Amino acid sequence: MTDVLIDHFTYEYPGSTVKVLNDVDVTFKHNHFSLLTGPSGSGKSTLLYFIAGLYPHFIGNDALGGIKFGDTDIKQIPSNEISHSVAMMFQNPNQQFAMDTVIHELTFVLENMLVEPAKMDGIINHALAFCGIKQLRSRVINTLSGGEKQRVALACIVAMDPPVIVLDEPFASIDPDSRLDLIKKLKQLQVEHGKTIILADHDLNDYKGVIDEFYYLDPDTHHISLLDSQSAQHFFDNFKNTQTINKQVAIPTEAAPSIINIKDFKLQPHHSLLLKLGDFKFCKEKTTLITGANGIGKSTLFNALTKLLPYDGEIDFAGKNIQKIRPLPYAKNVTLLFQDAENQFLNITVKEELDLSLKNRTNQAYSIDDVQTMLKELSIDGRDDQVVYSLSEGQKKKLQIIEMLIMNPPVLLMDEPFKGLDYHSLEVVVGFLNRSKQEFHQTQIIISHQLSGLDTLIDYHANFADQNLTYQEVIK
C-alpha cells in the first residue's frame, strides 16, 4: 500500500514570506487517480516536486511537515532509490531528456536504475508498446512533436515502473488526441497495474469519469481540499463556461480591407505538415480570434508570421512580401505578445521596462498619464524599482501587455494573452485592447482558449483544424 500522505505541509519560497502551501494535510490514496487543480502559480507544481523528491534538493530550503509513501518517510529513502518509488512527468516537453534518441533515453533511464542489461530490451519493448510508440524507437527526440515527446516521457515512466506517478500539467502543449490517449493510458496504469496517480492540471477537459478524487488548491488560503462530487461537478461546469461564448460573428467579405495576406502557404517543421493555405487574409483594424486544439500549430503559425520559422509560400504585410522587409521595421509593425511574458522582458526593473517601451514606441498614442492609469487599473502601479523577474506570473503578464500596448504596433499578435489573469483583469485588458483598436487602429490576432469575457472584442473567428484555417460564424 502506498498512500501518499502529506502531513501538515507548509512551504514558502526562499526570501518570501508568503506561504505558498499552508498546512496542507491530505492523503492521495493508493491506486487512485487524483486530480489536483487550482489557478496557475498557486503552488501545485511545488507540492508535486516535493512528492517526486526533487525538492528540497533543487530549491534549497525545506518545508515544514512531511511526506510519506505508506509508512516510509520520503527523507528516509536514499537518493539512489527514490526513483524506484516515484517518477515525474514535466510540463515542458523540451527539457526532460538527456539523450538524443528515444531508445538512448530509455536505456539511460534503465542504466540509472541499475537494471541488468540483458533485461533491458524486454522492458523497453514493453514500455514502447504500452504507449503505442514502437515506431518512434530510433527517432531523434528533437524532431518529435510535443505529444510524441510526452508519450516518450510516459514510456520512460512505464519502464521505471514506480508505484507512484506524479504529473505536472503534462498536457499544456500537446494535441487533444495525444491528451485523451495519455489520460487513458494513465487510467490503465492505475487500474491494471495498481499505480497511484497524482496529476496537476488547470485544464479540466477529459477528466470527468476518469479521476477518482478531485483536489483543489485554494490560491487565497493555500490549503488543499478534497471536493465532494457536487463541488467537483461545479468546477467542471465552471471550466466549460470559460471555454464558450455565445456570439455570432461575420465572415470577412471579399471587400474587407486586409493587412496580412497569406498565399500558397505551407508550414511543415520537421517535415510534418501543420498548415496549408491557398489564400488567406487577416483584416485590417479588426480583432481576429484563432481557436483550435492544443499543439495543432497555432503558435507555430505566429512563428512564421514573425519570421522565426521558415515556411513555403508567401506572406505579405500591407502588400509587401515580409521577407523583403528589414527585420527591425518588420518587428515593430508586426509584433508578437509572447506566451511566456519573460521572453518579452529586456531590462531589470518595472520602470526600465516601461521606459524602454516609451523610448522605442512607434507613435505617441499613449500618454504618460495613460500608462499610469493602465498600471493602476491592473493594480501593478507603484512597483517602479521591482525586478521584473520577481513579479508573480499574473503581474508579469499585466506588465507585458501594457508595455506592448505602449509600443502600439499596427499589428499585434497575441498568444494566450489572458493566461494567468483573473477575470476582472481580463475585462480590464479587453477594454485596453478595444481602445487600441478603435482609437489607434490596431489590428489584433489572438490565440486563446479562454473565451468568456471576450464578446465585445472579437470581430472575426478563424478555426484551426485539419491543417486548415477557416473563418466561422460561431465561436465554440
Partner 1 sequence: MDNKTQPATNREHQSKWTLRNIILIALIAIFTGIIFWGAGFLYTALTVVLTPIGAAPFANDLLMGLWCMAGPLTGFVVRTFGSAFVGEFLGAAVEVFLGGQWGAGAFISGLVQGIGSELGFAFTGYKRYDWVGLNASIFTTVVVTFAWDMIKNGYNKFGIPLLLALFVTRYISTFIFGGVLTKMIVRLLDRSNAFSL
Partner 2 sequence: MNPGLKLLLVMAIALEISFTQSLIVNVILICVSFIYILFNRVTFKALIGLIFWPLFPALGLFVSQWLYGSAGIHFAWILFTRIYAYVFLGATFTLTSSITDLALTLEQDFRLPSKFAYGVLAAFNLMPKINEEVQIIKTSALMRGEALHFWSPKLYFKAILSSIQWSQNLAEAMTSHGFVEDQGRTHYRVIKITAMDWVWFIGLFGIVQVLLFFIRY
Question: Exactly one of 13, 108, 432, 440 binds partner 2 (CB under 8 A); which one?
Answer: 108
Question: Exactly one of 49, 302, 366, 460 binds partner 1 (CB under 8 A); which one?
Answer: 49
Q: Per-residue string for binding with partner 2, 26-45, x by CB under 8 A?
A: --------------------
Q: How many residues bind partner 2 (CB under 8 A)?
A: 62
3-state secondary structure the chain: CCCEEEEEEEEECCCCCCEEEEEEEEEECCCCEEEEECCCCCCHHHHHHHHCCCCCCCCCCCCEEEEEECCEEHHHCCCCCHHHCEEEECCCHHHCCCCCEHHHHHHHHHHHCCCCHHHHHHHHHHHHHHCCCHHHCCCEHHHCCHHHHHHHHHHHHHHHCCCEEEEECCCCCCCHHHHHHHHHHHHHHHHHHCCEEEEECCCCCCCCCCCCEEEEECCCCCCEEECCHHHHHHHHHHHHHHCCCCCECCCCCCCCCEEEEEEEEEECHHHCCCEEEEEEEEECCCEEEEEECCCCCHHHHHHHHCCCCCCEEEEEECCEEHHHCCHHHHHHHEEEECCCHHHHCCCCEHHHHHHHHHHHCCCCCCCHHHHHHHHHHCCCCCCCCCEHHHCCHHHHHHHHHHHHHHHCCCEEEEECCCCCCCHHHHHHHHHHHHHHHHHHCCEEEEECCCCCCCCCCCCEEEEEECCEEEEECECC
Pairwise CA distance, residues 145 & 94, whole Å: 10
Closer CB to partner 1, 17 or 230, in the complex: 17
Q: Is residue 254 near partner 2 by the rule CB under 8 A?
A: no
Closer CB to partner 1, 50 or 317, in the complex: 50
Q: Is residue 271 near partner 2 by the rule CB under 8 A?
A: no
- State the binding partner of 40 from partner 1, partner 2, none, CB within 5 to 8 A by kind: partner 1
Pairwise CA distance, residues 133 & 105, whole Å: 14
Q: Which of residues 341-380 bind partner 2 (CB under 8 A)?
A: 342-344, 346, 356-357, 359-361
Q: Is residue 13 near partner 1 by the rule CB under 8 A?
A: yes
**Pair 408, 441: CB distance under 8 Å:** no
Among the residue ranges 25-33, 256-264, 403-411, 453-461, the one whose residues contact partner 2 (CB under 8 A): 403-411
The amino acid at residue 24 is V
Closer CB to partner 2, 57 or 441, in the complex: 57
Q: Which of residues 379-418 bind partner 1 (CB under 8 A)?
A: 387-390, 393, 396
Pairwise CA distance, residues 216 & 420, whole Å: 17
Among the residue ranges 106-114, 218-226, 375-383, 466-474, the one whose residues contact partner 2 (CB under 8 A): 106-114
Q: Is residue 37 near partner 1 by the rule CB under 8 A?
A: no
- Give the cell for residue 320: 509587401
Q: Is residue 49 near partner 2 by the rule CB under 8 A?
A: yes
Q: Which of residues 119-178 bind partner 1 (CB under 8 A)?
A: 168-169
Among the residue ranges 186-194, 241-249, 294-302, 339-347, the one whose residues contact partner 1 (CB under 8 A): 339-347
Q: Is residue 327 near partner 1 by the rule CB under 8 A?
A: no
Least Å distance, CB 13 to partner 1, is 5
Q: Is residue 11 near partner 2 by the rule CB under 8 A?
A: no
Among the residue ranges 105-113, 244-252, 374-382, 442-450, the one whose residues contact partner 2 (CB under 8 A): 105-113
Among the residue ranges 53-61, 70-78, 154-162, 259-267, the one whose residues contact partner 1 (CB under 8 A): 53-61
Q: Per-residue string for binding with partner 2, 184-223, x by CB under 8 A?
A: ----------------------------------------
Q: Which residues here bind partner 2, judged by CB under 8 A? A: 49, 52, 54, 57-58, 79-80, 83, 87-88, 90, 92, 94-100, 104-105, 107-117, 120, 141-142, 156, 160, 306-308, 327-328, 330-332, 335-336, 338, 342-344, 346, 356-357, 359-361, 389, 403-404, 407, 409
Contacts with partner 1 by CB under 8 A lie at 13-16, 20, 40-41, 44-46, 49, 58-61, 91-92, 168-169, 200, 340-342, 348-349, 387-390, 393, 396
